[in-house]
């Protein structure tokens, strides 16, 4: 058995791609428009997994956008937390969190321990960020920062 992808339903393709690609740094590997099924699939990979994803189509995140019905009504998705979370290793947890904050992303669970942080996508999906290797030494402002919202 091997991991292929995680599917996340999204309500707005542009908003989701801005978050996942422009702010989080994932890269689109392929896209499928299915008119009969009325959905769009967009596959994303982390930069360090890009070559592997191109060769084996894994590991990836699959963004699924279900098109509105004939009357223009779109399906609503509640929660996001019940999905669980996506997890990514990062080279420097503090730098990554600062870049995300600078891009307007709320750090819901700051990396007080120098190892783990949580953010949420525009659709409420929790994303865990983990420090590659050993935890970094605790440092402010992260060490004293409180949680914001749910994660």
Instruction: Give DSSP secondary structure letters for 24-67.
Output: T--EEEEEEEETTTTEEEEEEE-GGGHHHHHHH--SEEEEEEEP
**Which of these, 151, 46, 76, 138, lies nearest to 107 by C-alpha position?**
151
**Which of these, 74, 46, 76, lies nearest to 58 by C-alpha position?**
46
Residues with catalytic annotation? Answer: 128
Read off the DSSP letter of residue 109: B
Backbone angles phi, psi at 50, to 5 degrees: -60, -50
Alpha-carbon distance 94 to 91, whole Å?
9
């Amino acid at each position: 058995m091997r991991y292929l992808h995680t599917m996340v339903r999204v309500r707005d393709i542009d908003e989701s791609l801005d978050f996942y690609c422009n702010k989080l740094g994932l890269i689109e590997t392929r896209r499928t428009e299915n008119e009969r099924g009325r959905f769009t699939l967009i596959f994303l990979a982390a930069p360090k997994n890009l070559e592997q994803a191109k060769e084996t189509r894994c590991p990836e995140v699959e963004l699924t956008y279900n098109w509105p019905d004939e009357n223009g009504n779109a399906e609503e998705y509640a929660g996001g937390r019940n999905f669980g979370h996506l997890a990514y290793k990062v080279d420097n947890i503090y730098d990554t969190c600062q870049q995300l904050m600078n891009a307007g992303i709320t750090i819901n669970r700051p990396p007080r321990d120098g190892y783990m942080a949580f953010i949420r996508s525009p659709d409420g999906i929790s994303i865990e960020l983990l420090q590659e290797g050993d935890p970094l030494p605790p440092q402010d402002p992260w060490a004293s920062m409180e949680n914001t919202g749910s994660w």
